[in-house]
A and B are shown apart, each in its own frame.
Chain A
Amino acid sequence: MNGSSGDHETLWRGPLLAWSALLALAAISLGSAYLPLGAGNVAVNLVIAVVMAAVLAIFLMDLRNGTTLVRIVASTGLFWMIFMFVLTFSDYLSRG
């Protein structure tokens, strides 16, 4: 980074666009709650959540330009989330 104004614009443009996309997706998520989709509400919100996570990882965390090591470190977060979901569902899916 040489500190020129052009570089600063490049630096900020991506995260700003990603942030805007996240806000838009949050608004869509909120709006979808008022639609009478039944079980479809859950599906729509899960899809939106996955898109939001992807935007976060690819653009805000800049994994598209990350080194292999950084991508491996980031992916551990995914594994840990799997631990959390699998073991939590070992409770919810087996309750009497």
Chain B
Amino acid sequence: MSEMTLQYAPTEESVATSYLDEGHTVLSWLLTTDHKRIAILYALSITAFFFIGGVAIGLVRLELISPTGWFMTSDEYNRAFTIHGIIMVWFFLVPSIPATMGNFVLPMMIGAPDVAFPRLNLLSWYLYLIGASFTVYVLLSGGVDTGWTFYPPFSSTYSHSSVVPAAIGVFVVGFSSIATGVNFMATVHLLRAPGMTWFRLPLFAWSMYVVSMVMVLATPVLAMSLLLICAERLFGLPIFDASVGGDPVLFQHLFWFYSHPAVYIMILPAMGVVSEVFACFARRRVFGYAFMVYALLTIGVVGFMVWGHHMFVAGQSPLANLIFSFLSFIVAVPSAIKVFNWTATLYRGQIGFEAPMLYALGFLGLFTIGGLTGLFLASVPIDIAATDSYFVVAHFHTIMVGGTVSAFMAGIHYWWPKVTGRRYHEFAAQLAAIAMFLGFNLTFIPQFIMGWLGMPRRYHFYPDVFQIWHVLSSGGAAMLAVAYLMPLGYLGWSLFNGDRAGDNPWGATGLEWQTPSPPPKRNFLRPPQVTSAPYQYHDIGRAREEVEQAPVEGRGDAR
């Protein structure tokens, strides 16, 4: 353990410079092993890919305004929605919260000066970049048309697009996920501050721990299944080709063994973020903390056993359909526990409607809708009717975008003062949060409706009767685009012109708030000592805002 000796910043204020001032050259960033700087590198990278993926789906939504298509061929349409899916899933959603907020906040939350393996952390970002380079190559070479799921035999035999480079890009970025997962697990196990027992961990730290397990256990299976696709496509190995004894459904088993837990890789961190935000902005202890922890663990484990609900119409046996349907209903239970506990946390709280809270409330509503519509799809007869319809598209976007992106934005706004030391323009942020919620619903409620009426996904020619829903949905997408672009403006402005935030502008109790903003390189000026459970907001209440800068008692002793 000698390699993991805790080293904190010196106690002299004069040398406790911010991590942002630890070097201003490009090399000082590219070679950094500081978890906070790596988080910034990740944030910049995934933001770039978020907007590339956004442009792709913007084109798709424009195309769908007309029922006969108007500027894309069918092949171009296939490539546009495929690149949107690949980029958004693997280059934005999967790394979004863990690689940015997890990297920045997790070590501080548990009282550590860095992650357990700082160089592995930097390597994970470079792996992300290498995988991303393959994806950029795919874009420049005309794209890939298999859908983000790479189903054979189309991907292995028939497609003439850049399947192998796309698969290699995803394969490589998977190792970035694994590296982050290993690092976070070791960090939580080994680098907790004195007094930070397991049941004093903030729920965001728990969510990072659970999601790390899922990333480490699931991602290798994705890597294996994509390699098999490449082997079949490049060398003709008969693995999934039914004409020579292979089984295409086997790919779906392997792919969804990763890709359903991948939904939890996206949503578990989001659950962690909103748990922090609800407690802080309702000035309440999280209701049922222990149950929240057990629910995270249960989702992490049971989430691995439900993948077959993606295959109810793929030729899977009726017995397997029954088993996977039952297990899919089971996994809704811990999710429901969390929704009820968040609601109970808000009950009789001193609620403030600052932007992080608005985003978190948006998460709560959208995650509930996404979860309940998931129950529809867990039911075999309903799923058979709704498979490959816009109902499915709306369902998973409600979880992955309505849920995860709302929480991502909540976290960005919540920790922005800590990351930058600056305040953002609160009213502009509140407007963006409201615009995102309205834009999201305008985009996807029409998709739920037209999907239920029978509109299939992945077609750009469709009956006229669906046009009104597509036009509404495209209008919502435009509103969403504005809501996503607004933070670039006011957050960018705040970097240079925002008011100084102070160390703890929200009066939050987490250890990460008991250190300067922006934090010093080793996070704390001296080793923190944890003396109580998290979320002791009852004692502080909202009145604390009026006695500005009163010390936050009981949660740590870092300064």
Contacts and interface: CB of A to CB of B under 8 A. Distances in A.
A91 B304 contact: no
Contacts of A90: 308, 317, 319-320, 323
B308 A91 contact: yes
A87 B317 contact: no
Interface in A55-93: 69, 73, 76-77, 80, 83-84, 87-88, 90-92
Interface residues of B, number: 22
A74 to B, nearest CB: 10
B105 interface: no
Nearest to A88: B253
A94 B319 CA distance: 7
B221 A94 contact: no
Given A91-B320, A94-B317, A69 B304 contact: no
Interface size range of chain A in the complex:
10 to 19
Nearest to B323: A90
Contacts of B253: 88, 91
A69 B324 CA distance: 32
Interface string B314-332: 0111111001100000000
B257 A84 contact: yes
A84 B221 contact: yes
A71 to B, nearest CB: 14
Contacts of B217: 76-77, 80
B119 interface: no
Contact of A73 (B185, B311, B323): B185
B319 A76 contact: no
A78 to B, nearest CB: 11
A46 to B, nearest CB: 16
B189 interface: yes
Nearest to B318: A94
Main secondary structure of the interface of B (DSSP, over half): helix
Given A80-B304, A83-B305, A84-B257, A91 B317 contact: yes
B99 interface: no
B213 A87 contact: no
A90 B253 CA distance: 11
Nearest to A91: B320
Given A80-B304, A84-B257, A88-B253, A94 B185 contact: no
B324 A87 contact: yes
A96 interface: yes
A80 B315 CA distance: 24
B304 A96 contact: no
B290 to A, nearest CB: 22
Contacts of B319: 90-91, 94
B317 A95 contact: yes
Contacts of A94: 317-320
Contacts of A83: 304-305
A69 B189 contact: yes
Contacts of B318: 94
Given A76-B217, A84-B221, A91 B316 contact: yes
Nearest to A80: B217
A41 to B, nearest CB: 13
Nearest to A92: B317
Nearest to A77: B217
A96 B185 contact: no
Given A76-B217, A77-B217, A94-B320, A87 B185 contact: no
Contacts of B308: 87, 90-91
A30 B305 CA distance: 33
A25 to B, nearest CB: 18
Nearest to A84: B257
Contacts of A69: 189
23 contacts: A69-B189, A73-B185, A76-B213, A76-B217, A77-B217, A80-B304, A84-B221, A84-B257, A87-B305, A87-B307, A87-B308, A87-B323, A88-B250, A88-B253, A90-B319, A90-B320, A90-B323, A91-B317, A91-B320, A94-B318, A94-B319, A95-B315, A95-B317
Interface of B: 185, 189, 213, 217, 221, 249-250, 253, 257, 304-305, 307-308, 311, 315-320, 323-324
Which 6 A-B pairs rank lowest in CB-CB distance, beginning with the nearest? Answer: A91-B320, A94-B319, A94-B317, A95-B317, A90-B320, A80-B217
Given A83-B304, A87-B324, A95-B317, 5 more contacts: A69-B189, A83-B305, A90-B319, A91-B319, A92-B317
